[in-house]
């Protein structure tokens, strides 16, 4: 008989959990961020007016950026910087790019990952590989309409 131990993956309940877990990757780790704007679909109401549908819309990338991931990385700082570009965003799509030998990944590699993240969003691909948060750091799961 073979017995295998199972260690559950840590849960990411907030943005701070992601930052804390990512620090384990060591120096040079980058946080990759795509700001997401949601263009809400509209529906006709009983009185003939149009209203936004809360749970349906088109996801559009507004900004891509990388941040050094350190113990000092805070969501409020990222939100403040993002709001200087645009306040018309609802979600942060994030990924972690580990450094190599304590050095951050080169800019061209970082740019490739950021571009791929934005493309994944615009083409409606599965977003499960990314951690997505509200402006307040709460995790959310976004799905393509065909996956619902």
Q: Residue 24, class by beta-carbon neighbours within 10 Å (0-12 exposed, 13-18 middle, 19+ buried)?
A: exposed
pTM (two decimals): 0.79
100 dihedral zone (left: phi>0; alpha: psi -120 to 50; beta): beta
Q: Whole-angstrom Cα distance, residue 102 to residue 74?
A: 21
Please answer whether residues 60 and 122 qualify as being in contact, where contact means their C-beta atoms are separated by less than 8 angstroms.
Answer: yes
Residues 82-134: tens digit of each pLDDT: 999 889 899 999 999 988 888 899 999 999 999 999 999 888 888 888 999 99
Residues 46-59: tens digit of each pLDDT: 676 655 556 667 88
């Amino acid at each position: 008989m073979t017995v295998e131990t199972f260690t559950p993956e840590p849960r990411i309940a907030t943005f701070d959990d992601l930052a804390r877990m990512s620090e384990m990757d060591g120096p040079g780790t980058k946080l990759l961020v795509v700001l997401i704007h949601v263009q809400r679909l509209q529906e006709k109401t009983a009185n003939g007016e149009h209203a936004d549908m809360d749970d349906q819309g088109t996801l559009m990338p507004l900004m891509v950026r990388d941040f050094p991931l350190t113990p000092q990385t805070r969501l409020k700082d990222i939100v403040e910087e993002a709001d200087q570009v645009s306040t018309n965003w609802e979600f942060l799509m994030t990924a972690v790019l580990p450094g190599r030998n304590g050095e951050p990944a080169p800019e061209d590699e970082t740019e490739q990952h950021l571009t791929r993240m934005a493309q994944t969003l615009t083409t409606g691909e599965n977003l499960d590989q990314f951690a997505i948060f509200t402006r307040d750091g709460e995790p959310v799961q976004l799905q393509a309409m065909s996956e619902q």
